[in-house]
Chains A and B, each alone.
Chain A
Amino acid sequence: MISENQRLERLAERLRAIEAAAPSPAAKIRAWNLVSAGLQKPAAGVARERSGARLLVAGLAASALLVAGAIAAAADSLPDSAFYPVKGTIENLEGAFALTAADQFKHHLTLAATRLREADAMFARHRVDLADQALVGMEDQLTSAAAVVKTVKASDAPVAGSLEGQLQQAVQTHDNQLAGLQGQVTNPTAVVAITRARNRAQEALKVAAAAADHGPGNGNGNSSASASSSDKGQSASGSPSGTTEPTLP
């Protein structure tokens, strides 16, 4: 009869003796090709970021003389930039010119993608607070886009179907990016923020899909109002532009 420790040590030795699983050479070559391809994107991103930073510096100098220079600099600014509030004003102006439902929908999706890029950049700079706010902004924009889909369903089901497809595609793309980010961050607050963003993006899809289940009679604006009203409260801190209530022509 051997002791427990001896038995467990024997088991540990047996585990050490297991041959390691190794990838095939072909798989390894394929893996490097894929990883290498992935490396090209961030390199371009860094180049853009550096270029953007140079533009920002130039814009700062020009803004002393030209307001237009400041606006140009704000267009690509990030949440930790002094020009970021200007960016919100520009986005609000763009939103005001989105007259049709399709234009408003596109505007919301564009802003959602912008907020996600900002969140990514803020995580990279270890500004979890600003990244969290940017993610809230993304969530709000997706919710607003879903509200547009829901409203359109009341009047034009084929167009609404097309918009819903675009929303699904956008949410899927964002979810993939968020999943990638989630695997990279270790800060618990960041993990919570990303998890919440992924969940709210899925909820937006459900909002858009729910209208179909309830028929066009429910797309009268009342149901979307609840989503939009909560949007406004959150986006006040989550994005420079806030969330605009979808209005139809």
Chain B
Amino acid sequence: MRVFSKAPADDDRPLVARARRGDQDAARALFERYFDRIYNYVYARLGRVEDAEDLAIDTMTRTLTRLDLFQDQGVAFSSWVYRIAHNATIDHYRRQGKVTLVQLEDANLPQSADPSEMAVERMSNEDLRVAIRELTEEQQQVLILRFFQDLTAAQVAEILGKSVGAVQALQHRALASLERALAGRPVN
């Protein structure tokens, strides 16, 4: 169950315009609108509260201090914010020296007898979060944005710079990879 009720609407432009003119109330409104979402997104990617806080702050600072870079980007403000969060996450990985993950399709995963019998309802939330973090970058992004952030396929497509069809295909592959990953885990 989400703590934020709906996906970000594309009505941010008036607030962005005011914030660019130095209106602190508008900047605060944008912060309130996006901070929890970005925190949730980053936490899903990294799994550490401290890192999630730092990167969410970093993302919002980068966003609100450089609104001048947002103009003429041709994307919704929300997509721009998520891209900044994604870049901040990648930067974090680089600083931590995290290696690129292999495609789960290629990984040597333990196989269960029959995935259809896997009781995903009994999997703990943490098991699911950890399993998602073992997916590829793009697979993580699509699952987190679609199911944790409640974004539409079209919104995710804009953030990732892909077509809606490509996002849907990626989502299917990501779920299948996640299912295989979970099949190799014991149910708590």
Q: Are B175 and A186 in contact (CB under 8 A)?
A: no
Closest to A43 in B: B22
Instruction: Decide: A35 and B128 in contact? CB cutoff 8 A.
Output: no
Q: Check: B1 CB closer than 8 A to any chain A CB.
A: yes
Cα separation A245 to B60 with both chains bound (whole Å): 42
Contact, CB under 8 Å: A14 / B128: yes
Tell yes or no: B4 within 8 A of A by CB.
yes
Q: How many residues of A contact B (CB 8 A)?
A: 42
A42 to B182 Cα, complex, angstroms: 47
The residue from A21, A39, A126 contacting B44, defined by CB atoms under 8 A apart: A21
Given A8-B179, A31-B53, A184-B66, is A36 in contact with B24 using a C-beta cutoff of 8 Å?
A: yes
- Among A1, A20, A27, A41, residue most surrounded by chain B Cβ atoms (within 10 Å): A20
Contact across chains for A21 and B40 when beta carbons are under 8 A apart: yes
B62 and A184 within 8 A (CB): yes
Residues of A within 8 A of B132 (CB): 15
A31 touches B60 (CB 8 A): yes
Bound Cα distance A51, B62 (Å): 24
Determine whether B7 belongs to the interface, using a CB cutoff of 8 Å to chain A. no
* B138 interfacial by beta-carbon distance below 8 Å: no
Number of interface residues of B (CB under 8 A): 58
B91 touches A179 (CB 8 A): yes
Residues of the B chain whose Cβ atoms lie less than 8 Å from the Cβ of A16: 147, 150
Q: Once the chains are docked, how many angstroms separate the CA of A123 from the CA of B91?
A: 19
Residues on B with C-beta less than 8 A from A27 are 53
Check if A180 is an interface residue, CB within 8 A of chain B: yes
CB of B129 closer than 8 Å to a CB of A: yes
The verdict on A48 contacting chain B, using a C-beta distance below 8 Å, is no
Give bound CA distance, A164 to B176, whole Å. Answer: 52
| B69, A18: Cβ atoms closer than 8 Å | no
**A35–B40 alpha-carbon span in the complex (Å):** 18
A21, B128: Cβ atoms under 8 Å? no
With contacts A35-B31, A183-B84 taken as known, whether A124 is within 8 angstroms of B128 at the C-beta atoms is no
Known: A18-B128, A21-B43. A46 touches B22 (CB 8 A): yes
| Contact yes or no, B120 A14, CB < 8 A | yes
Please tell me if A206 contacts chain B, counting CB pairs below 8 Å.
no
Per-residue interface assignment for chain A, residues 17 to 44, with 1 indicating a CB less than 8 Å from any chain B CB and 0 otherwise: 1111111000110111011101101110
- Chain B residues near A28 (CB-CB < 8 A): 35-36
In the complex, are the beta carbons of B22 and A12 less than 8 A apart?
no
Known: A36-B24, A38-B61, A179-B91. A17 touches B1 (CB 8 A): yes
* CB <8 Å contact, B91 and A182: yes
B1-37 at interface with A (beta carbon < 8 Å): 1-4, 22, 24, 27-28, 31, 35-36
B1 touches A22 (CB 8 A): no
Q: Does A54 contact B (CB under 8 A)?
A: no
CB-CB nearest in chain B for A16? B147
Within 8 A of A (CB), among B132-188: 132, 143, 146-148, 150, 172, 175-176, 178-179, 182
B96 within 8 A of A: no
Q: Report A-chain residues with C-beta under 8 Å of the C-beta of B178.
A: 11
A34, A42, A124, A185: the one within 8 Å of B57 (CB)? A34
Residues of A within 8 A of B68 (CB): 124
Of chain A, the residue at the smallest CB distance from B63 is A184
Not counting A14-B123, A20-B2, a sample of 7 additional A-B residue pairs whose C-beta atoms are within 8 angstroms of each other reads A8-B172, A14-B121, A21-B52, A31-B60, A32-B31, A124-B69, A184-B69
* 21 A–B contacts, CB within 8 A, in A order: A8-B175, A11-B120, A11-B179, A12-B146, A12-B175, A22-B36, A23-B36, A23-B52, A23-B53, A31-B31, A31-B57, A32-B28, A32-B31, A36-B28, A39-B24, A39-B65, A41-B65, A46-B22, A182-B87, A183-B87, A184-B62
Q: Which residues of A contact B (CB under 8 A)?
A: 1-2, 4, 7-8, 10-12, 14-23, 27-28, 30-32, 34-36, 38-39, 41-43, 46, 123-124, 126, 179-180, 182-186
